[in-house]
Amino acid sequence: KNEVEQSPQNLTAQEGEFITINCSYSVGISALHWLQQHPGGGIVSLFMLSSGKKKHGRLIATINIQEKHSSLHITASHPRDSAVYICAVKVGNEKLTFGTGTRLTIIP
Amino acid sequence: GAVVSQHPSRVICKSGTSVKIECRSLDFQATTMFWYRQFPKQSLMLMATSNEGSKATYEQGVEKDKFLINHASLTLSTLTVTSAHPEDSSFYICSARDARTAYGYTFGSGTRLTVV
């Protein structure tokens, strides 16, 4: 069993829909990251969380430390949001352990 | 913001040759650089952690003589795939630890290596 599980693996939605991607982890962590990987492969950091909730534009990330669960929400989704979204957890000081990603496709 | 420049973005090489991938931190000092490998539709796998001026720490199962990592300066880390084989074909990406940013890590744009 992977230490970091994401769901769903694939998600297709219509433009404008509210999107939720979930991440569950099984180990104690010092921080959780949400990353966005575009088709060309480049990765952009979206959020780093250790508690609570963060918002950036149409993106919202929440984390529940007790339940070892985090969610990434996208409001008013747009085709340009189509990408792979990756959850990663930091265990200890440095290393990140990655989920397998959620492939999001937004249809115009 | 913090930027890590990774080159080349794509490379095709013949079996048996070596390929060098560079990652440069453009506006900050990257004392620690992480090198990852990603197979299609799989998650990133950490290959090694390099610290400026010292030997890299390799993850279990990663051949250090095959994947040479050099972190000679605070702004440059290189990964050399030696005697490349077709099974080395993959997506390689670096990430620098940058405590100044809100995210803690800045990723390069990745290198897609194809060995023919």
Chain B's closest residue to A86, CA to CA, is B43
**CA-closest candidate to residue B79, choices B14, B6, B29:** B6
Q: Which helix (H) or strand (E) holds B5?
A: strand B4-7
Mean local confidence (pLDDT), A35-48: 90
Mean local confidence (pLDDT), B3-23: 95
Which pLDDT belongs to residue A93?
A: 67
| Residue from A35, A43, A100 whose CB has the most chain B CBs within 10 Å, to mutate | A43
Residues 6+ apart with CB under 8 A from A41: B38, B91, B93, B109, B110, B112
Kindly report the average pLDDT of chain A as a whole number.
93
Q: How far is CA B101 from the centre of its chain?
A: 20
Which pLDDT belongs to residue A87?
A: 96
Q: Chain A: nearest CA to B15, how far in angstroms? A: 24
Q: Is the pLDDT of residue A77 over 90?
A: yes
Which pLDDT belongs to residue B105?
A: 85
Cβ–Cβ gap A98/B110 under 8 Å: no
- How many inter-chain contacts (A to B, CB under 8 Å) are there? 59
Of residues B47 and B3, more confidence is placed in B47
Q: Is the pLDDT of residue B30 over 90?
A: no
- Contact by Cβ (8 Å): B59, B44: no
Which pLDDT belongs to residue B1?
A: 66
Mean local confidence (pLDDT), A16-39: 94
Which pLDDT belongs to residue B41?
A: 81
> Which residues of chain A have a CB within 8 Å of the CB of B112?
41
- Contact by Cβ (8 Å): A25, A68: yes
Mean local confidence (pLDDT), A9-20: 98
A47: β partners: A34
Is the minimum CB–CB distance between B91 and chain A shorter than 8 Å?
A: yes
Of residues B25 and B103, more confidence is placed in B25
Q: Is the pLDDT of residue A45 over 70?
A: yes
Distance CA A45, CA B102 (A): 9
Which pLDDT belongs to residue B97?
A: 82
Q: Is the pLDDT of residue B35 over 90?
A: yes
Closest CB to A99: pick one of B34, B38, B43.
Answer: B43
Cβ–Cβ gap B91/A48 under 8 Å: no
Sheet with B76-81: strands ordered across: B4-7, B19-25, B76-81, B67-73
Of residues A105 and A93, more confidence is placed in A105
Mean local confidence (pLDDT), B68-91: 94
Q: Is the pLDDT of residue B103 over 90?
A: no
Q: Per the structure block, which two tokens stand in for A59? A: 């993106």
Closest CB to B110: pick one of A31, A41, A88.
Answer: A41
